[in-house]
A and B are shown apart, each in its own frame.
Chain A
Amino acid sequence: MHEGMSATVSLLLAAQNQDGAWGFSRGSSATEPAALALLALANDPRARDACARATSWLVAHQRPDGGWAPRPAVRQSTYVTSLALLALDGRTERDVLRRGAEWLLRQTNRDSSLLHRARMFLLGAKPDVPSEQAWSWFPNTAGWLTPTALAMLALKRWRSDAELSAAAERRLANGEAYLWSRLCRDGGWNHGSSKALGYEADSYPETTGQALLALQGTRDRRLDQALAAAERHMARCRSAEGIAWLQLGLLVHGRAMAGIPAPSPPLRTIPEIALSLLAARARSGDHAFSEASRAA
Chain B
Amino acid sequence: MPHEMTRRRAILAASAAACAAACSLRPAPGREPLVSILKADYGSGLFDAVRRLLVEHKVPLKGRRVVLKPNLVEYDESTAINTSPKLVLAVMEACRSLGAASVTIAEGPGHRRPTWDLAEAAGYFAEIPEFEKTFVDLNLDEIEEVRLPRPAPDLEALWLPQTALACDLLISLPKMKTHHWVGATLGMKNLFGLVPGQVYGWPKNILHWAGIHDCIVAINSAVPNMFTIVDGVEGMEGNGPIQGRRKHAGVIVAGADRVAVDATACRVMGIDPRRIRYLRMAQDAGQIEDANIRQIGEPVQAVRTDFDLIPEFRHLRLAGA
Task: List A residues at the B interface (Cβ < 8 Å).
Answer: 24-25, 27-28, 30, 32, 70-71, 73-74, 78-79, 110, 136-138, 140-142, 144, 146-147, 190-191, 196-197, 199, 201, 204, 206, 238-242, 265-266, 268-269
Contact = CB atoms under 8 A, between A and B. Distances in A.
Contacts of A190: 111
B48 interface: no
B12 interface: no
B239 interface: yes
A138 B202 CA distance: 10
The 4 lowest CB-CB distance pairs between A and B, nearest first, are A137-B201, A239-B117, A24-B140, A239-B114
Interface stretch (B31-39, B83-91, B203-211, B287-295): B203-211
Contact of B199 (A28, A70, A140, A147): A70
Given A71-B143, A240-B114, A32 B310 contact: no
A24 B114 contact: no
A136 B199 contact: no
Given A24-B140, A238-B120, A196 B205 contact: no
| A32, A137, A144, A206: residue with the most chain B Cβ atoms closer than 10 Å | A137
Nearest to A139: B206
B21 to A, nearest CB: 26
B134 to A, nearest CB: 14
B239 A142 contact: no
A144 B197 CA distance: 13
Nearest to A76: B199
B200 interface: yes
B65 interface: no
Interface of B: 111-114, 116-117, 120-121, 137, 140-143, 145, 159, 180, 197-203, 205-206, 208-209, 239, 242-243, 310, 312
A64 B306 CA distance: 55
30 contacts: A24-B141, A24-B198, A27-B142, A70-B199, A71-B198, A71-B199, A74-B199, A78-B199, A79-B201, A110-B209, A136-B201, A136-B205, A137-B202, A138-B201, A138-B206, A141-B209, A144-B205, A146-B113, A146-B202, A147-B201, A191-B202, A191-B203, A196-B243, A201-B242, A204-B112, A206-B113, A238-B120, A239-B114, A241-B113, A242-B117
Contacts of A147: 201
Given A138-B206, A140-B209, A269-B140, A241 B114 contact: yes
Contacts of B145: 73-74
If over half of A's interface residues share one DSSP class (helix, strand or loop), that class is named, otherwise mixed; here it is loop
Given A70-B199, A136-B205, 10 more contacts: A74-B143, A74-B145, A137-B201, A138-B201, A146-B113, A147-B201, A197-B180, A201-B243, A206-B114, A269-B140
A32 B205 CA distance: 19
A196 B203 CA distance: 14
Contacts of A241: 113-114, 117
A172 B202 CA distance: 22
B201 A144 contact: yes
A242 B205 CA distance: 22
B205 A138 contact: yes
Nearest to A198: B239
Nearest to A204: B112
Contacts of A28: 142
Contacts of B202: 137, 144, 146, 191
Contacts of B120: 238
B140 A70 contact: no
Nearest to A265: B117
A145 B237 CA distance: 28
Nearest to B199: A70
Contacts of A240: 114, 117
Nearest to B112: A204
B131 to A, nearest CB: 12
A141 B198 contact: no
A11 B81 CA distance: 35
Contact of A268 (B113, B116, B203): B116
Contact of A199 (B137, B141, B239, B312): B239
Contacts of A137: 197, 200-202, 205
B311 to A, nearest CB: 9
A70 B114 contact: no
Contacts of A32: 198
Contacts of A27: 141-142
| A141, A206, A269: residue with the most chain B Cβ atoms closer than 10 Å | A141
Nearest to B154: A140
